[in-house]
Structure 1
């Protein structure tokens, strides 16, 4: 029996926008790691990649909000918060419609478009996990925003993410490897074993050669 890392895709995940604030800087990223850990006290964990600006701001400020993405969320929401870095763009700038979010009492945005619930969280503990930090948080407020079903990772893969359309070679005959998570393309015959997608931070195992 082979060791197939795609078994990780069979684990059940929801999808969320984790938003933060540092001074005047508002930011957010897509995550699939918000999980309830305990009910008394009510604790929710979030694991964020250390390469993300959202990670750095949350580690500094200890406060964030979580917006639970529903099956009404469109691909543009995933692109906006997941396929670009807040180090390069203002995710809550003029190009993001103010009708898509509101500022909560803690000053942190809550995304409302394609969202069915939200949580205001305070970090109580941080655990270093190597590539990620695990933030254990306690909600100060939570509410339901719609009755739409939550968007699972599987639903996103099957119904939201566009299907690959490009061939596996460039006009120069170079091989293309496409990230199955965000669509980023790496050009080269072989990928380095330690390659990390610059957009979604997933490893080489999440890339595949695109063929006609």
Structure 2
């Protein structure tokens, strides 16, 4: 199976936030969908390894800040590439709070938010599916929401090719001489063959 096909699904990308006592935390998720309109109900799927998962499991409440196409890669790194168990993700992040007291990311990188109250949890193995009624929400801008495909095409940096090493390789033993110019009288220190047996890298 080609797992890249999963990237073709029309996921959105969100900052999921929760609060336990005085502790705020958040993580990046790509699974938040409306599953019913009466009552207004959404589901989110959260990896059990995420600290935010445990907070939601305990408190039964969360917010979803909807990332727009203005979202920066640093936001994904900040909320997605480190654990709230080790760092305070909100120590230097400007936030607002919804009526439920949980943080929301309200800036040019988000176009709205939803507040959810969990009514059911389903164990899915690596993840828990939380089904929640929508208690509050707001639209902040008309900037399109970030999709998974948009993130990979326009936000996540592309891998940069490593600069090609300049040098010469011995065709006999594989020894590499580093440098742009190979001296005519060079002798391979490994196999003792002359410069004529070298090729540029």
The equivalent position to 1:20 in structure 2, one of 12, 18, 21, is 18
CA deviation after TM superposition for structure 1 residue 35, in Å: 0.5
- Map 1:138-177 to 2 at 5 A: 138-165=133-160, 167=162
Once residues 76 and 90 of structure 2 are traced to their aligned partners in structure 1, the CA distance between those partners, rounded to angstroms, is 14
- Whether 2:106 is the aligned partner of 1:112: answer yes
* Secondary structure class of the residue paired with 1:158: helix
Q: Does 1:124 align with 2:119?
A: yes
Match of 1:55, SS? helix
Q: Deviations over 1:149-206 (max 9, x none)?
A: 0000100001000111264xxxxxxxxxxxxxxxxxxxxxxxxxxxxxxxxxxxxxxx
Instruction: Tell me, in whole angstroms, the C-alpha distance in 2 between the residues paired with 1:123 and 1:107.
Output: 15
The Cα shift of 1:103 comes to 1.5
SS for the counterpart of 2:54 is helix
- SS at structure 1 position matched to 2:111: strand
**Are residue 54 (structure 1) and residue 48 (structure 2) matched?**
no
Deviation at 1:55, TM superposition (A): 0.2
Partner of residue 76, structure 1: 74
Q: State the shift of 1:73 in Å.
A: 0.8
Task: Give the corresponding residue for 1:41.
Answer: 39
**Relative to structure 1, is the Cα distance of residues 166 and 59 closer, same or farther in structure 2, using a 3 angstrom cutoff?**
farther
Whole-angstrom CA distance in 2 between matches of 1:121 and 1:69: 17
Deviation at 1:83, TM superposition (A): 0.8
Report Cα offsets for 1:108-167 as digits up to 9, x if no partner: 001012000101110000000000000001111111011100000100001000111264
Would you say how many aligned residue pairs link Structure 1 and Structure 2?
Answer: 162
Structure 2: 5+ residue stretches without partners: 163-201
Structure 1 stretches lacking a partner, 5+ long: 168-212
Residues in 2 aligned to 1:140 and 1:157: alpha-carbon distance in whole angstroms: 32
Asked if 1:134 is matched to 2:129, the reply is: yes
Report the counterpart of residue 194 of structure 1 in structure 2: none
- RMSD of aligned Cα (Å): 1.3
| Structure 1 counterpart of 2:97, from 103, 116, 119 | 103
